[in-house]
Structure 1
Amino acid sequence: MLLLNGITGFNVDALPEVDSLQFKRLCYSLANYSNGKILSFEEPHASQNFYKTELNLHNESIFILLNSSYPMVAFASSVQYFEIEFIDHTLSNMVSVLNDRFRVLSAIETNQQLELDDRTNSLLTENSLNEAELSQIFHWKPKTVGDVIFNFWD
């Protein structure tokens, strides 16, 4: 998967912001449609580059994450500081509704191992990241592509 310039939220000047209001509305619609309930909605902040919605669905929490710079969405079963468990969601209607407005990333994509070359301080995973982002990657040492797209770096 290509990691796009600015996806980490570092050294970004002219990237458009995602439509967070649309994302929030979609999450509430999905909750209503699925007989679920939104437990929380969190906006990006200094050490988190993504929106996070926690949805209770059939007595189980599921998280829907949206990158703050690009309209990329992922599902997670758990979101802890520096530890996200990315999953595929089984409700195809939820995925198709989100796919109309956002790119829904699969667990295979988000769990793809990040390939770092520590000898040359280069990233072997396909990318167009800027120097500030590459510096952050070598500082924080994320393990997966998902850890870059949805990060807790400050």
Structure 2
Amino acid sequence: MTTVLLLNGITGFHVDALPEVDSLQFKRLCYSLANYSNGKILSFEEPHSSQNFYKTELGLHNESIFILLNSSYPCVAFASSVQYFEIEFIDHSLSNIVCVFNDGFRILPAIETNQQLELDERTHTLFTENSLNEAELSQIFHWKPKTVGDVIFNFWD
């Protein structure tokens, strides 16, 4: 049985109030991961009007990785690159140790975030399992994201 990832309000466009994620807890998690991996937090960015997620850049030896947290649900993903409307979701070895520091987040593997989004243009519905609201579906058909991850972590305004 698969878990529905596209939950009502996950895009940031919702009609009902949703609980907000604990950004302080996420920040602590990121610093713990940096300490554990002998890395360094290079930047921390809060959600804003055209970005529905928190973004931490973690410098590790000779690479940077990004740790993303959806602003409505405690869904975390790793990315090798985060550009406007273009996120490269990856699996990272750090994803396996997140549970050591905190079990309050759901780590989304790249196979889930990179899953192709299936749109039915004729009926304005998704073939991908979801519980999204009408405002979110409207945004999806406007912005035309390619993957499930592009819906969960988006740059829509």
TM-score band w.r.t. shorter chain: over 0.9
Give the whole-Å Cα distance in 2 for the aligned partners of 1:19 and 1:65.
13
Map 1:87-98; keep pairs closer than 5 Å: 87-91=90-94, 93-97=96-100
After superposing the two structures, state which structure 1 stretch, 56-65 or 11-20, moved more: 11-20
Paired residue secondary structure (1:109) = helix
Q: 1:62 to 1:125 in 2, by over 3 A?
A: same
Contact 2:67 2:79 in 1 (8 A): yes
Query: Partner amino acid for 1:15?
Result: L
Unmatched tracts of structure 2, length 5 or more: none
Output the CA distance in 2 between the equivalents of 1:130 and 1:21: 28
Match of 2:59 in 1: 56
**Is the alpha carbon distance of 1:76 and 1:127 closer, same or farther for their aligned partners in structure 2, counting shifts above 3 Å?**
same
TM superposition shift of 1:92: 5.5
- Give, in angstroms, the shift of residue 100 of structure 1: 1.3
Check the 8 A contact 2:12/2:71 in 1, yes or no. yes
Residue 127 of structure 2 aligns to which amino acid in structure 1? Answer: L
Change (3 A) 1:105 1:36: same
Residue in structure 2 matched with residue 26 of structure 1 by the alignment: 29
Root mean square deviation of aligned Cα: 1.3
Are residue 135 (structure 1) and residue 138 (structure 2) matched?
Answer: yes
* Corresponding residue number in structure 1 for 2:129: 126
Structure 1 distance, partners of 2:101, 2:46, is 18
> Normalising by structure 1, what TM-score?
0.95
Taking structure 2 as the reference length, what is the TM-score of the superposition? Answer: 0.94
- Of 102-111 and 116-125, more deviation after overlay is shown by 116-125
Q: 1:108 is paired with a residue of what secondary structure?
A: helix
The yes-or-no answer on 1:113 pairing with 2:116 is: yes
Q: Secondary structure at the match of 1:7?
A: coil
Counterpart of 1:68 (choices 63, 67, 71) is 71
How far has the Cα of 1:102 moved from its partner? 0.2
Query: In the TM superposition, what is the alpha-carbon distance from 1:68 to its structure 2 partner?
Result: 0.1
> Take 1:98 and 1:5, find their aligned partners in 2: how far apart are those partners?
28
Select between 8-17 and 85-94 the one with higher mean Cα deviation. 85-94
Looking at structure 2, the residues matched to 92 and 75 of structure 1 have their Cα atoms a distance apart, in angstroms, of: 8
The answer for the alignment partner of 1:14 in structure 2 is: 17
Counterpart code for 1:140: W
Aligned residues: 154
Q: 2:95 and 2:23 mapped to 1: Cα distance?
A: 22
